[in-house]
A and B are shown apart, each in its own frame.
Chain A
Amino acid sequence: MSPETDDRPARSRLLASPRGPRVKRRGFLGATAGTLATAACGPSTPPPPAIAFVGPDPERSHHLREGTWREGPVHETIHTDVAIVGGGVAGSAAAWRLRRAGLADLHLFELEDEVGGTARGGELPRSRHPLGAHYLPTPPPDCPALERLLTDLGVILGRDAHGRPEYAPSAIAAAPLERHFGRGRWYEGLYPAAGETAEEAAQWARWHAHLRALDGRRGGDGKPLFAIPVARSSAELRHLDAVSFAQHLDELELRSERLRWALDYACRDDYGCTLAQTSAFAGLHHFLARGLEETRGGFLLTWPEGNARLVRGMLERADLGARLHRGAAVVAVDPHAGELRVHCPGDGRRLRVHARSILWAAPRFVLGRLLVGPDPLPVGALTYAPWLVASVEVRNAPRGVGARLAWDNVPLAGSSLGYVVATHGETADERQPGAVLTYYEPLCGDGPAELAAQRQRLLAGDRSHWADHVISALAAMHPGIASEISEVAITRWGHAMIRPVPGLLFGENLALASAPIGRLRPCAADVAGLPLFEEAFYKGSRAALAALADLGRAAPDALADEIFI
């Protein structure tokens, strides 16, 4: 959930703080003396931070799992052309796409009181912040549908003389982008180059040569080796999905601990899986699907509240009004009759929904529990990574010895991915003291049993347990940060993302998971196999177009990349 990096930090980059001409340094006098004076006069113990659980309500998932809301009287019946279940990226994209095609008769049901799914955002006094997914790389050239979305949302401002999109600077993650913490200080970039041996450097170079050799290549079938969305990838290297990324590296004789740390970090960051748990195809897809970072000239797009900004934009344009149902739990699904039962825990109301088409934009594993009749997909066929995400408001932005505070700040040690600065993009005229830092930690596990144990651990801890956990992880990078923290907002994701384990992407289970059942089409990112905004967007748009076709409606503006099979 933070930037990918296949770019080793340039060694020429300077680490020292900027030093203007000599008079400039007078500024220190006032500032430092002022701080000392404040420290001298002010009270020494700051108030303890306010701690809250935010994000999805585990109670609701529990009710769905146990079926406690399944039966009850119906208060209202809705007949509609399309019912979308799930207000995350895929559901919002489907709603946006349907409205764009002129369909007005659609309803969207979101279990939680807020839309966004794993791209939800929150707000602390100092700033908005993400609860989950928080950035989107600018798409590669052959994604016109995604570019159309970004243009519609005002993220693409226009095009240059070559027709390439020009992105709004306010959405671009600006330098310094990343730094890592090890041996007591910060270093630029996300490859721990300090102190590497010649052999390690050679392995890094070999890894890069490996990537460069694959970069931009197409298979014998004319398709890109690694495409966005992943289903458009050539068949040529699909056999790499059968082995783990770790095995693939073994075969390449790339055993450098530093290299493996950097690649393991990328897998945990994007997929919530370790190197050994990720398929080699998925691992390479991360580095190559958008072109190598060093050659593609792209950006990372981000906002204080993360990808919640994109969801909000899509839903604003879908303009569903009262047909957007928040806090509406779909508790039973009859896909052949096109019928949903919906329970609203807020006011206890129950709806029966008759839809000509149902777009299942919620996690696929939930569907199995709600279906009337058997689910063709075996239980446990898809596995999901649990995550802990916490946004922390600090009175003073952290610093540290060495490289400057970056957007993404990653420790070499420990299981966390470090923190991303939600307030990083503030312009000079918006700047205030303090910052909001969003801490990310995937709870990796090897199989269903370990993942279940992680999930149990996640739900067992109370607010102060997880706040202590987060604060001590931050304090390992920034001693003394505890006294700077005023707010902690903790999100527990039991099923944050689909795990692209070996065999998933091109296997039978994923085909079963995404296959329509009666009038229902599964279309969340999990049935694409990769937990990416792009996958959710394309699944949602394609499902929308399929629903239009079912309704006998045309979509004359459909683009090549959303109608492929």
Chain B
Amino acid sequence: MSAAPGTRLLLASVLVVATCGLVYELIAATMASYLLGDSVTQWSLVIGVYLSAMGLGSWLSKFVVRDLHARFIAVQLVIAVVGGLSAVALFYGYAYLASVRPLLFSILVIVGTMVGLEIPLLIRIVGAGEELKDTVARVLAFDYVGALLASLLFPLALLPHLGLVRTSMLCGLFNAAVALACTWVFRAHLPRPRAALVQAALVCAALAAGLAVGGRLERLAERELYDAPVIFSEKTAYQRLSITRSGDDIRLYIDGNLQFASSDEHRYHEALVHPALAGVAPRRALVLGGGDGLAVRELLKYPGLERIDLVDLDPGMTRLFGRDPLLVRINRGSLTDPRVHVHNADAMRWLEGHVRTNSEVYDVAVVDLPDPNNFSLGKLYTGSFYRLLRRVLSPAGVGVVQATSPYLAPRSFWCVVKTLAAAELHPRPYHAHVPSFGDWGFVLVSPAPRPEPTHLADVPLRFLDDALLPTLFVFPRDQQPPDVEANRLNDQLLVHYYEEDLRALPGRGGRG
């Protein structure tokens, strides 16, 4: 039977197997929490599925009766490949699959079953020729030490220094190395030793190569989540700003949500600004949100404007769009125009302060805020917010509100309209087709009722003209208002509507 070096190698492999096995579990659980959220659920599910798969493996081990060494090596190689590639597979699966869960649980079941199969096999290999009590004691002791090692190494060393992709590759490489060493030491016990050696060596080489490029793979995997190369990414105090570029098309994402695509943003911003200004000679304008300066660019086409106040939460955003040459080319330096005054503040707080200090009112207000996907943003779509808005508009003033997509998020859109009506702002909903967004909705508002606009001002436009203008206010039969309630600060129904609308989108429903 195996000599002392063989036994020592086997005990060392118990340690490696146990350590790597737990690391794969930790990787799966960490990634599940990253990608799917709700970490308590994810951790519980991952641990439960993994442990039960190990139980399955242990039970299956009774069916392995011959060629124990060869089977053990084969199991090692399967773990090395599946476990080693698990993180990168999950990253890419997340980017490309409708739901990453089946992949996650397949990986867990395969690795768990194989790890569960290993320990009984090892006990039987080591135990041939010695007492069961000694074997079990030795093997299980190493097994548990390995678990301790993993739980210390993973958070303290592996994750901070290597990241998920390379950690899983490194563990895979260890598993493969154990397989290679065992193949060599136990070649006498193997039916086809040469083929086994080549196999193990190939897996080792593949994983070593993967480890070498793992860092790049991880970055690539993250980038795959956008549609185009990221040319700028910054985490400000409030949000992550990412800019991608594909040819001439430059796109801004805030926390992963597309804000504009340079190829068609003129449609969005013309539709946002100019219908409101039809028949108005604005002197003072207010822009809430819109830190990209694109709405301001449109406003600056009106020569009578004396002052524009822009209120955007994020100084990182307005700084970026005030300085970056590429972005300044898109907004034509609007944010550095002397008539423009930038205020970095929460729009609700700023408005309340403005009302309290009885400051001067505005002829036009453009509300261009991110969609109401959380309670902080949802506040800026409530009746309380719109009542403040009404107070900062002159009696003959006019405003416009970005109101999500009437096609993709119908309940949200019509909830905004209803809320504006409840705030006595005489809403006039309209929409325009912006290819990168789809059918997009806006609402004209005014403290006093106003007729629907018919003649645009004589400013340079690429998208709108007087013929198109009235059609924007027409909603087809399949886009009539659903039954929704107004959005109040103390219930924020809109945040719930928006979540439900997004969930109902085709292709989104099953995601994750």
Interface residues of A (CB under 8 A from B): 12-14, 16-30, 32-33, 36-37, 39-41, 154, 157-158, 160-161, 166-170, 172-177, 297, 299-300, 401, 404, 427-430
Of A19, A28, A157, the residue contacting B391 (CB under 8 A) is A157
Please state if B160 and A169 are interface contacts (CB–CB under 8 Å): no
Please state if B492 and A429 are interface contacts (CB–CB under 8 Å): no
Please state if B257 and A173 are interface contacts (CB–CB under 8 Å): no
Contact A26 to B159, CB < 8 A, known contacts A18-B499, A32-B34, A169-B388: no
Please give, as numbers and ranges, the residues of chain B lying within 8 Å of A21 by CB-CB distance: 256-258, 502
CA distance A33 to B158 in the complex (A): 11
Please state if A14 and B500 are interface contacts (CB–CB under 8 Å): yes
Please give, as numbers and ranges, the residues of chain A lying within 8 Å of B356 by CB-CB distance: 154, 157, 168
Please state if B33 and A172 are interface contacts (CB–CB under 8 Å): no
Please state if B489 and A23 are interface contacts (CB–CB under 8 Å): no
User: What is the minimal beta-carbon distance from B153 to any residue of chain A, in angstroms?
Assistant: 10
Most A Cβ at <10 Å: residue of B160, B345, B356: B160
Please give, as numbers and ranges, the residues of chain B lying within 8 Å of A176 by CB-CB distance: 375, 492
Q: Is B155 an interface residue (CB 8 A)?
A: yes
Please give, as numbers and ranges, the residues of chain B lying within 8 Å of A175 by CB-CB distance: 375, 378, 488-492, 495
Most A Cβ at <10 Å: residue of B258, B313, B349, B378: B349
Please give, as numbers and ranges, the residues of chain A lying within 8 Å of B257 by CB-CB distance: 20-21, 23-24
User: What is the minimal beta-carbon distance from B411 to any residue of chain A, in angstroms?
Assistant: 11
Of A41, A154, A177, the residue contacting B160 (CB under 8 A) is A41
CA distance A23 to B242 in the complex (A): 10
Q: Is B450 an interface residue (CB 8 A)?
A: no
Q: Is B35 an interface residue (CB 8 A)?
A: yes
User: What is the minimal beta-carbon distance from B257 to any residue of chain A, in angstroms?
Assistant: 6
Return the CB mask of B367-386 against A: 1 if under 8 Å, else 0: 00000011110110010110
Please state if B490 and A172 are interface contacts (CB–CB under 8 Å): yes
Q: Is B185 an interface residue (CB 8 A)?
A: no
Q: Is B37 an interface residue (CB 8 A)?
A: yes
Please state if B375 and A174 are interface contacts (CB–CB under 8 Å): yes
Q: Is B512 an interface residue (CB 8 A)?
A: yes
Q: Is B465 an interface residue (CB 8 A)?
A: no
Interface residues of B (CB under 8 A from A): 30, 33-35, 37-41, 94-95, 155-156, 159-160, 163, 222, 225-226, 235, 238, 240, 242, 253, 255-258, 313, 344-346, 348-349, 352, 355-356, 373-376, 378-379, 382, 384-385, 387-388, 391, 424, 488-492, 495-496, 499-500, 502, 511-512
User: What is the minimal beta-carbon distance from B150 to any residue of chain A, in angstroms?
Assistant: 14
Please state if B253 and A23 are interface contacts (CB–CB under 8 Å): yes
Please give, as numbers and ranges, the residues of chain A lying within 8 Å of B256 by CB-CB distance: 20-27
Contact A22 to B511, CB < 8 A, known contacts A14-B496, A14-B499, A17-B38: yes
Please give, as numbers and ranges, the residues of chain B lying within 8 Å of A13 by CB-CB distance: 496
CA distance A170 to B226 in the complex (A): 37
Of B38, B226, B379, the residue contacting A169 (CB under 8 A) is B379
Q: In chain B, what residue has the closest Cβ to A3?
A: B490
Of B38, B222, B379, the residue contacting A26 (CB under 8 A) is B222
Contact A18 to B225, CB < 8 A, known contacts A23-B256, A24-B256, A174-B490: no
Please give, as numbers and ranges, the residues of chain A lying within 8 Å of B391 by CB-CB distance: 157-158, 166
Please give, as numbers and ranges, the residues of chain A lying within 8 Å of B40 by CB-CB distance: 401
Please give, as numbers and ranges, the residues of chain B lying within 8 Å of A427 by CB-CB distance: 346, 348-349, 376, 379
Q: In chain A, what residue has the closest Cβ to B491?
A: A175
Q: In chain B, what residue has the closest Cβ to A25?
A: B35
CA distance A72 to B181 in the complex (A): 96
Please state if A177 and B490 are interface contacts (CB–CB under 8 Å): yes
Q: 6 pairs across A/B with beta carbons < 8 Å? A: A20-B257, A157-B355, A166-B384, A174-B490, A404-B375, A429-B344
Please state if A401 and B41 are interface contacts (CB–CB under 8 Å): yes
CA distance A506 to B322 in the complex (A): 68
Most A Cβ at <10 Å: residue of B346, B382, B424: B346
Q: In chain A, what residue has the closest Cβ to B372?
A: A18
CA distance A32 to B496 in the complex (A): 26
Please state if B33 and A429 are interface contacts (CB–CB under 8 Å): no
Of B41, B313, B373, B385, the residue contacting A428 (CB under 8 A) is B313
Contact A19 to B502, CB < 8 A, known contacts A30-B235, A175-B490, A299-B489: yes
Please state if B492 and A174 are interface contacts (CB–CB under 8 Å): yes
Given A41-B156, A176-B375, 13 further pairs, Cβ under 8 A: A14-B496, A18-B374, A23-B225, A32-B33, A32-B34, A169-B348, A169-B379, A169-B489, A174-B490, A175-B489, A175-B492, A428-B376, A429-B345
Please give, as numbers and ranges, the residues of chain A lying within 8 Å of B388 by CB-CB distance: 157, 169
Q: In chain B, what residue has the closest Cβ to A162?
A: B424
CA distance A30 to B258 in the complex (A): 20
Q: In chain B, what residue has the closest Cβ to A175?
A: B492
CA distance A18 to B500 in the complex (A): 10
Please give, as numbers and ranges, the residues of chain A lying within 8 Å of B163 by CB-CB distance: 33
CA distance A212 to B35 in the complex (A): 46
Please state if A25 and B37 are interface contacts (CB–CB under 8 Å): yes
Please give, as numbers and ranges, the residues of chain A lying within 8 Å of B376 by CB-CB distance: 427-428
Please state if A28 and B373 are interface contacts (CB–CB under 8 Å): no
User: What is the minimal beta-carbon distance from B220 to any residue of chain A, in angstroms?
Assistant: 13
User: What is the minimal beta-carbon distance from A530 to any residue of chain B, in angstroms?
Assistant: 23
CA distance A40 to B156 in the complex (A): 5
CA distance A158 to B384 in the complex (A): 12
Please give, as numbers and ranges, the residues of chain B lying within 8 Å of A39 by CB-CB distance: 155
User: What is the minimal beta-carbon distance from A209 to any residue of chain B, in angstroms?
Assistant: 22
CA distance A21 to B500 in the complex (A): 13
User: What is the minimal beta-carbon distance from A207 to any residue of chain B, in angstroms?
Assistant: 21
User: What is the minimal beta-carbon distance from B450 to any residue of chain A, in angstroms?
Assistant: 16
User: What is the minimal beta-carbon distance from A298 to any residue of chain B, in angstroms?
Assistant: 9
User: What is the minimal beta-carbon distance from A13 to any residue of chain B, in angstroms?
Assistant: 5
Q: In chain A, what residue has the closest Cβ to B160?
A: A37
Please state if A25 and B34 are interface contacts (CB–CB under 8 Å): yes
Please state if A19 and B37 are interface contacts (CB–CB under 8 Å): yes
Please give, as numbers and ranges, the residues of chain A lying within 8 Å of B222 by CB-CB distance: 26, 29
User: What is the minimal beta-carbon distance from A122 to any residue of chain B, in angstroms?
Assistant: 24
CA distance A144 to B510 in the complex (A): 54
Please state if B35 and A28 are interface contacts (CB–CB under 8 Å): yes
CA distance A168 to B353 in the complex (A): 10
Please state if B496 and A160 are interface contacts (CB–CB under 8 Å): no
Please state if B490 and A429 are interface contacts (CB–CB under 8 Å): no
CA distance A166 to B375 in the complex (A): 21
Please state if A429 and B349 are interface contacts (CB–CB under 8 Å): yes
Contact A17 to B37, CB < 8 A, known contacts A23-B256, A167-B384: yes
CA distance A174 to B512 in the complex (A): 30
Please give, as numbers and ranges, the residues of chain A lying within 8 Å of B226 by CB-CB distance: 23
CA distance A13 to B492 in the complex (A): 10
CA distance A169 to B348 in the complex (A): 8
Please give, as numbers and ranges, the residues of chain A lying within 8 Å of B34 by CB-CB distance: 25, 28-29, 32
Contact A173 to B238, CB < 8 A, known contacts A28-B35, A36-B155: no
CA distance A166 to B156 in the complex (A): 54
Please state if B352 and A168 are interface contacts (CB–CB under 8 Å): yes
CA distance A430 to B95 in the complex (A): 34
User: What is the minimal beta-carbon distance from A161 to any residue of chain B, in angstroms?
Assistant: 6
Please state if A36 and B159 are interface contacts (CB–CB under 8 Å): yes
Please state if A429 and B313 are interface contacts (CB–CB under 8 Å): yes
Of B373, B374, B384, B490, the residue contacting A300 (CB under 8 A) is B490
Please state if A169 and B512 are interface contacts (CB–CB under 8 Å): no
CA distance A40 to B379 in the complex (A): 37
Please give, as numbers and ranges, the residues of chain A lying within 8 Å of B511 by CB-CB distance: 22
Please give, as numbers and ranges, the residues of chain A lying within 8 Å of B313 by CB-CB distance: 428-429
CA distance A22 to B384 in the complex (A): 31
Closest 6 CB pairs of A and B: A23-B256, A24-B256, A175-B492, A427-B346, A169-B384, A429-B346
User: What is the minimal beta-carbon distance from A173 to any residue of chain B, in angstroms?
Assistant: 6
Please give, as numbers and ranges, the residues of chain A lying within 8 Å of B502 by CB-CB distance: 19-21
Please give, as numbers and ranges, the residues of chain B lying within 8 Å of A25 by CB-CB distance: 34-35, 37, 225, 256
Please give, as numbers and ranges, the residues of chain B lying within 8 Å of A300 by CB-CB distance: 490
Please give, as numbers and ranges, the residues of chain B lying within 8 Å of A12 by CB-CB distance: 496, 500
